[in-house]
Structure 1
């Protein structure tokens, strides 16, 4: 009944926690990999749409604009 007010971030986290409870050993490798390397899903989910837009612009600038100046 309280699902109507649940934000997408909280719902994603709740579903992830349920998956971990159902299959703890299968998730062990994934969690250790994320701990060492991070996760793009966690990064984008924490920033919101404005932060994601800025990140995309910075990546485009790094691969397109900067090489033009440093040829």
Structure 2
């Protein structure tokens, strides 16, 4: 027997997709806003924990460099 073990990320994504399929008109406003602004959850899920850490590090370094040279 083979057990189907899914990661927490896969479970969250599956539950989110089921919610969107089950209530498409209720989520219409959310879909429009997400298309305009993007979703931080989708960004973090696509990058993984290493990519998210690198993104945070780049933002912090950018802020430090900006404050040193432009103030």
Q: Structure 1 residue 23: deviation in Å?
A: 2.1
In structure 1, what is the equivalent of residue 43 of structure 2? Answer: 43
Instruction: Tell me whether 58-67 or 26-35 shows the greater mean CA deviation.
Output: 58-67
1:54 and 2:54 matched: yes
When normalised by structure 1's length, the TM-score is 0.80
Q: What is the rounded CA distance, in whole Å, between the counterparts of 2:20 and 2:59 in structure 1?
A: 33
State the SS of the aligned residue for 2:11: helix
When normalised by structure 2's length, the TM-score is 0.80
Correspondences of 1:23-42 after superposition (within 5 Å): 23-42=23-42
Q: Unaligned stretches of 5+ in structure 1?
A: none
RMSD: 1.6
Deviations 1:9-59 (A, max 9, x none): 221111012211332212111111111221111001110111001110111
Q: Unaligned stretches of 5+ in structure 2?
A: none
Q: What is the rounded CA distance, in whole Å, between the counterparts of 1:12 and 1:42 in structure 2?
A: 11
